[in-house]
Structure 1
């Protein structure tokens, strides 16, 4: 069951963890490459701030972004700012998102995100948690998938397995994480069934495009190549 209040608390914790880690940087650190191709750490921080604003728009019934071009331009414009400006922006926008999330609302309503994607309002805080947690890893500053809370890892595997279910480019795939949790996904492409197993952080890394899957055990065919998120 989705508990948006609990997820909002997890977002706050994840945001504080990221801001505490970044507080020791200097301005040069912001300009260094992140783990995302073509993006510096400054791009990631700018994205996190703009994403918080965008999810406020979603919860308040407005378009998430004015356009894809405006989203990209805002991130590019904000990427080169000094560290203190970046962190103030991430902190302030996170506080705005949290404040809107605490307002009385119909959390069962359907809201619209990017590209026509819809979801229940109650799942928006988890989506924000995903942004903060995975991009903390993407910063490449010593925080890894293995450091993520176990409940987050399993829930994000749930989410991504559902996202790729029936995808036309993904064969039928069964996934098992160490500890016994199992998922199925894909099924829209020829081939399979493929069985994929390994530690939960490695499974998440493969599904989220953060790891190549070389640490996973694969049976029944090659490791499926997943489409970008």
Structure 2
């Protein structure tokens, strides 16, 4: 039974980042004023909020990689979560053209920053999650792929690759409540056990839907089915997202 996803190599991660960035460019290239102001898939957020967040997190993660090359460190966001939230609210009201320019530039800067890393520099310590530059690169991958789907313009989790889904599932393992264990049974794939509790809940469905559900994203009725001791049960509650930003 699988438990930990195989991490992509640095070359594979860079290729995934470039593909994810291209996906963001495709989305912002077709958005007009009404589309930017329309609701996203995230409750309470317009597409403008999502784009402002992508801009902010891409710039923040780019800085982690840029500083790693100089063997320097800084927090993910200057001013912490409060400053991050203010920037999103302010940036959400920008015009479609401004979003295209700012978000596109931030995403390109981030991909370029990780592409500039020498092989040994992927292991350079960064402040983000008290990890290394590779951790920041993986975070950029998650942010670009998941938030592209959050825009609600047609790209859904069904387009997520199996490799990305396995990585996301592994990253979200801390969302399993204490005392429980989730046994994921993806269609046509190996079982994945998350959590160390003894109360097993079996969750079955497509790998993409299982990953999206763990990420708190909407899935269609019946796409993720839960069982306990062979009996159908409601899908369990999830713990909080493993945030890297202190509240």
Structure 1 gap ranges (5+): none
Pairing 1:143–2:155 present = yes
- Give 1:216's match in structure 2, choosing from 195, 200, 224: 224
Q: How many residues align?
A: 221
The reply to whether residue 164 of structure 1 matches residue 164 of structure 2 is no
- 1:18-69 CA-to-partner distances (Å, cap 9, x unmatched) read 2223322211110111010111100111110110111123232211012111
Alignment partners' CA distance in 1, 2:162 and 2:8: 16
Pairing 1:1-229 to 2, within 5 Å after superposition: 1-59=7-65, 60=67, 61-66=73-78, 67-101=80-114, 102-104=116-118, 106-113=121-128, 117-161=129-173, 163-164=174-175, 167-168=177-178, 171-187=180-196, 192-211=199-218, 214-220=222-228, 222-229=234-241
What root-mean-square deviation, in Å, do the aligned CA atoms of Structure 1 and Structure 2 show?
Answer: 2.0
* TM-score normalized with structure 1 length: 0.87
Runs of 4+ in 1 over 4 A off after TM superposition: none
Which one has more relative contact order, counting CA pairs under 8 Å at least 6 apart?
2
**Matched position secondary structure for 1:107:** helix
Distance 1:91 1:196, change over 3 A: same
- Shift of the alpha carbon at 1:86? 0.5
Q: What's the CA shift for 1:128?
A: 0.7
- Alpha-carbon shift at residue 222 of structure 1 (Å): 4.1
